[in-house]
Structure 1
Amino acid sequence: MRWLRAALPPRAAGLVDDYERHLMSERGLSDHTVRAYLGDVVSLLGFLHGVERDDTDEARPGGTDGLDGLDVDVLRAWLADQRGSGRSRTTLARRAAAARTFTAWAQREGLIAADPGARLVAPRAHRKLPGVLRPDQAGEVMRASAAGAAERDPVGLRDHALLELLYATGIRVAELCGLDVDDVEFSRRVVRVFGKGSRERMVPFGQPAERALRAWIEGGRPGLATGSSGAALFLGVRGRRIDPRTVRKVVHEAVETVPGAADMGPHGLRHSAATHLLEGGADLRSVQELLGHATLATTQLYTHVTVERLKAIHDRTHPRAQ
């Protein structure tokens, strides 16, 4: 998408730069979310201005500039073009949402007289039921990582601590990577998390996570810490704050040790934690608070997960199920 952004007419390119500053400074979104929003907006503006590649693989701009001509018909045509290119319903729904956010900002800034995104209706994304671990499989993952930590190797202690914390709290991988040592309150067994939009919440964890965290902080972290470590709770092998890619690798490899477990990353542990909380009797509102969901509708997805699991058990075990 870099070539397309570079090929936009000057006014349109300037709008993208302004919008990027708005997303980063005023809305407090993560780098990943900002990139996704910008990619969708650049795609829309490229469609609006007729920017495309010719046979020489060079960008060829159209004849308009800025937001001239942007209306709901253009938005619909852009989405139709995306659908014709094979984009999924989920992608179309995300791009429509990004377009609505952009046009609302443009109207507030006085760049357009009316907001065409307010009239845009996009197909609902299919909400796939996430793969989750069974409670016994989650226990096997933690026991296997505990065995690795028993060697007292700093990386093994770190991996066990982050696995325990991810499953105990259901926090996002970006939230885990952003934790500082002082964010852990052992006296109350809670961790202070800064979620999407810099929203702060306190999430409790249990004794297994406490033991793993203490072992990492006292016996593992000093072995990896360097002058560039700062206050970061979890560190990479070079002493800097751990990155999401490393955490995903740790989770994938840990789950692979359990026969029959679905392949998953940190988000799979988050799904598993939420599902197990609901199956254990937690109410939706409490789970929403723990996970940091902005709306209860997002948390309600997990009720479908638990119902599907109950149906599968019923089909396997009840003599009159078939």
Structure 2
Amino acid sequence: MAFSMSVILVFSMLFSAPLCYSHYLYPQFYDHSCPKAQEIVQSVVAKAVATEARMAASLLRLHFHDCFVKGCDASLLLDSTGTIISEKRSNPNSNSVRGFDVIDEIKSAIEKECPYTVSCADILALAARDSTVLAGGPSWEVPLGRRDSTGASLSGSNNNIPAPNNTLQTIITKFKLQGLDTVDLVALSGSHTIGLSRCTSFRQRLYSQTGNGQPDYTLYQSYAAQLRSSCPRSGGDNNLFPLDFVTPTKFDNDYFKNIIEAKGLLSSDQILFTKGEKTMKLVKTYAENNELFVNQFAKSMIKMGNISPLTGSGGEIRKNCRRINTY
């Protein structure tokens, strides 16, 4: 009996094991050099999300927008200087990405505990995981050991981050260039189960998506009418709307259910169901099974966090996440 139970346990561990970690990144990286690092991140994130529920989605998005440009290296956090043009100025980020003050607060607290030890890139990865958990989503062990870049890429930010009006093939290609497949694409799109989007990101769906002045009929028309009341043809660009109008602050699979009902807010959400057979099947699968969705989301987040990390002697450990160190 003991033997058979051991066999069952081994097989259970094999089939439930998370995605393999990068050779250079591992969850215990700071266990000796800064054992309170994860506790500090979790504490500051919890305070920020308690103050403003939207912050969970904002911090999750920071990690995503960072990793898709030059890898997960905290290049997004750098402000402009005489030699650096900040990625914050790019089209996907300008007047959109937020949460930098929370990252600053985390970094300041960690620097007091263990100076020049924990990278801003790792803080972003941990904050994204903690935000997901606080919104009711899955947890995962975050592989750590990233270092921070000493430069940014405005062009990379403009070109590599998927946009709300991109075609499905363009989005698939942008994910593929980062080593992420279609399963990762659909699962990570599920992060839109929380957070808000600006009117300017989906206005074309309400009025002239087809190019002939007609509304986008892949959007449920009574839902579209509700959106038009606060998202006019002109003006109101920064008016905010929940990406998941059913449970906007809860991490669940309602996002996928909404898409099936033609109530995906962004074009990039809806086309997962209307423009691709494989993505449509995945949307249906996750809509029917929340556990499958959250499990895959955790695996895909680990995979995304492994995009081209700087390790070893690469990059640096910034003292201030907004600027490179000066020696």
Q: How high is the TM-score relative to the length of structure 2?
A: 0.28
Structure with the larger RCO, 1 or 2 (CA within 8 Å, 6+ apart): 2
Q: How high is the TM-score relative to the length of structure 1?
A: 0.28
